[in-house]
Amino acid sequence: MIIPLPDTTTRKISKKLVEAQEHYTLTTGRVLTLIVAANEGDDIEGILASVRDASHEHPSRVLVVIAGSGDKETHLDAELRVGGEAGASEIVVMHLHGDLAEQSESVVIPLLLPDTPLVAWWPTKCPANPAQSPIGKLAQRRITNVAYGDGASHEELMQLSRGYTPGDSDMSWAAITLWRGIVASALDRHPHEPVESVEICGAAESPAADFAAGWLVDALGVPVTRKTTAAPEPGAFPIHSLRFNRVSSHVTVDVVDVSTVRVQVPGSPDSLVSLSVRSQAEILSEDLRHLDSDKTYAHSLRALSRVDYS
C-alpha cells in the first residue's frame, strides 16, 4: 500500500508510521534503519525494488531521501509504503525541496528507530568522504557505489582510500566476494609454488578490478599489475582475467561468457565455474549482513597505492 503525504512534516510522517504498524505491516521486528541517499533523476523505483528484495532478509525501516529538486519553495513531500509495496520493511520516500535539500540529516533524525543499527546507502552518486557527510555522520555502516555511471577513475579511488573510515564499504567490493573465493581455491591446488607476481585485467573504469588488485597486493605481498581491457559485454563479470605467475606453473582465472569463468592450473583439467553478475539487491543484502568494520576492504583500499598501473 502507498500512502501519499504531500507538503508534510516529520511529525505527521511519524504518526502515519505508527498507524501503519497497527494496520498494515508485519509483526516482524525491524533489525536496522536504512537511509537511502538519492537524487532527483535517479531510478527511484529500481532502487526501491532492490530495497524491497533485500528486506526479506533484513526487515528494516527504510528512509529514502531524495534531494535536489531545484524548487525555491521549502517543503517536504513524502509517501509511506507498507505491505506488498515494501516487502518485510516499511519505506518512507521523502522529496526535499528548497533549502530543505541541504538539511537531510535534520529530516531523518526524528524518524530513526531507537536502539537499532543505522546504515547509509548511496546507490548512485556518493560524497568524496562518506563518513564526513551529514548522513554518513549518523551511520555506523556506509555503503557507496563508485561504479555508478561511468565508473571510478584511479584518482577517485585513491580519494576514497584517503577518506576511509571504519564502517565504509562499496558495492563493487561486495560484488566480487564469490570471485575471490574462486581465486583463493585456485591457489590451493597442487603444485603449491609461491606466487612471484600477478596480472589482473579489467575495464579502465571498473573499480571491481582495482579493489581485487589491492586485495591481492595486501594478501600476497607480491607485485600486482592492473591492466586495462575493453569494456565487458552487458551482464559480464567486470574482471576479465587474472594470472598468477609462478616459477613453473602459472594459474589463470578468466571469463568465458556472461555466466562462466575458467580456472586453469597446470597438471589439472580446466575447471568451469558458474559466476554471474550479482543483482543490486543481492549485493545490498550481503553488505547488510556485516555491520562491523570490514578490515579486508580497508586493507585492500590502502594497498591501491602499491598496485602497478603500467
Q: Is residue 100 part of a domain?
A: yes
Residue 164 belongs to a domain: no
Does any domain span residue 71? yes
> Based on the domain organization, do 1 and 137 belong to the same domain?
yes
- Which set of grid coordinates corresponds to residue 91? 519505506
pLDDT at residue 27 above 50?
no
- Domain containing residue 259: 171-272
**251 band by pLDDT with thresholds 50, 70 and 90:** very high
Looking at the structure, tell me whether residues 84 and 190 fall in a common domain: no
Distance in angstroms (rounded) separating the CA atoms of residues 79 and 92: 6
Residue 254 counted as domain residue: yes
Residues 132 and 175 occupy one common structural domain: no
Q: pLDDT tens digits for 260-305?
A: 999 998 888 899 999 989 999 999 999 999 899 999 999 999 999 9
Assess whether 185 and 138 both reside in one domain: no
Number of domains in the chain: 2
Q: Does residue 29 carry a pLDDT above 80?
A: no
Q: Is residue 159 part of a domain?
A: no
Residue that wins the pLDDT comparison between 83 and 291: 291
Find out whether 177 and 155 touch, Cβ atoms under 8 Å.
no
136 shares a domain with 220: no
Same domain membership, residue 215 and residue 116:
no
Peptide bond between residue 123 and the one before it cis (omega within 30 degrees of 0) = no
Strands, E, within the chain: which ranges? 2-8, 32-39, 60-67, 75-81, 90-97, 118-121, 141-144, 168-170, 197-203, 224-229, 239-245, 251-257, 260-264, 271-274
The pLDDT value given to residue 24: 62
Residues 132 and 24 in one domain: yes
In a domain, 264, yes or no: yes
